[in-house]
Amino acid sequence: MQGVTSVFKICLSTLAQFVVSRKRLMLLLFVIFAFTVNISLPLAVSIYRKDASEKWNDGWHAWRNNNPAAALKHWSEIGVSGNFTVRPSRICYWRIRAMEKLGMYAEADDLKAELARKYPFDFYTFLFFRDGGAGISDKACRVKAESLFYPYLWKEEVSDAAGRTGIPEVMIWSLMKQESKFRKNAVSRSGALGLMQLMPSTAKAEMRYLNILSAEITDPEKNDLIGASYFSRLSRKFKGDLPRAIAAYNAGMMPVVRWNTLSAQDWIEWIEEIPYSETREFVRSVLQNREMYNIISGEKNEPSVSSLISERPMPVEKIASANR
């Protein structure tokens, strides 16, 4: 009996050792797998982005050289790589433009519906659908959900700034959301401050114009007013050209003046040609914010962003300097 008991104990001990060894092996394999993924995933993403960038640039070069067929070919080859770009919707949008230029209207309409389904309320979707594709994608109920991400914060301060500068409240919220995400103490890497992300030198210049003798730049009331005043000046400088005024708010007035028309046939081409990637995305994001705020508020009198497709940028040298 003791012999049987000893054998049983030995079996249990052996089994326990096997289980422990197996757990250790599984743990080791998991660590190796996690390490491999951690190393290979960023590399894979980088490869996908590089592939998408090269094909996008080839397509854009063909488009600007009036070869929509070649452009469509390059953009259609991007495939899954496009999902790793900043805005996958951009590729879809320009494929549609190329199709329309080639007379492929049925295919373009199908791709528009896909754009609306996959990227509702995106900047590029708004260029075709005033409702951001909510109707065609049967996602009208999402407008209420999206409104959670487009709050009307600092309403009293925004209303005051709009009243004094003439800049619509929606425009101020659109800038504020992109600049600071409504954080009054936000500070950028470049030193921009507050809700409207004002550089101290810019703020001081606007304060003189507004007869503000002294103020804490990050104070929400003053920051909103100074930012709206600065945007108002940019808007007058560029004769109400919204993409230029938004770009100048981010990159400064002089770079936008130097860019001139960027040889663009319409404002969407102009945005794509902006040399600074941060400014390019800033313009798209602010315009997207503006469309969303208009939808949420039920505003229908403001021109839709889709009008930018039919407008050609005017040479900057023909824009008269704004009188203060």
Rounded Cα–Cα distance for residues 260 and 316 (Å): 5
Helices (H), the chain: 2-64, 68-76, 88-101, 105-118, 123-126, 142-146, 155-165, 169-180, 200-209, 220-237, 242-251, 253-259, 267-272, 277-297
Q: Are residues 242 and 179 in the same domain?
A: yes
Within-domain flag for 11: no
Catalytic position from the list 179, 206, 269, 291: 179
End-of-domain residue from the set 126, 144, 162: 144
Whose tokens are 């304060």? That residue is 207
Q: Is 311 an annotated catalytic residue?
A: no
Last residue of a domain, one of 111, 144, 177: 144
Taking CA 294 as the corner, what is the angle to CA 184 and CA 222, rounded to the nearest 5 degrees? Answer: 25
Task: Report the CATH number at residue 314.
Answer: 1.10.530.10
The confidence score (pLDDT) of residue 299 equals 76
Positions of the chain with pLDDT under 70: 1-41, 43, 137-145, 317-324
Domain count, the chain: 2
pLDDT reported for residue 290:
96
Picking from 112, 144, 176, the residue at the C-terminal end of a domain is: 144
Residues in the chain, total: 324
Read out DSSP for 82-147?
A: GGGSS-HHHHHHHHHHHHHHTT-HHHHHHHHHHHHHHSTT-HHHHTT-TTTTTTTTT-TTHHHHHG
pLDDT of residue 2: 53
Domain that holds residue 106: 43-144
- Give yes or no for a contact between 307 and 270, defined as CB atoms under 8 angstroms apart: no
The pLDDT of residue 216: 85
What confidence score (pLDDT) does residue 302 get?
A: 80
Domain of 94, CATH number, reads: 1.25.40
Of 143, 144, 108, residue with least CA distance to 128: 108
Going from the C-alpha of 8 to that of each of 12, 13, 16, 17, 18, the distances in angstroms are 6, 9, 12, 14, 15
pLDDT at 12: 53
For the packed helices 68-76 and 2-64, what is the interaxial angle rounded to 10 degrees? 170
Assess if residue 9 is contained within a domain. no
* Shared-domain flag, residues 186 and 134: no
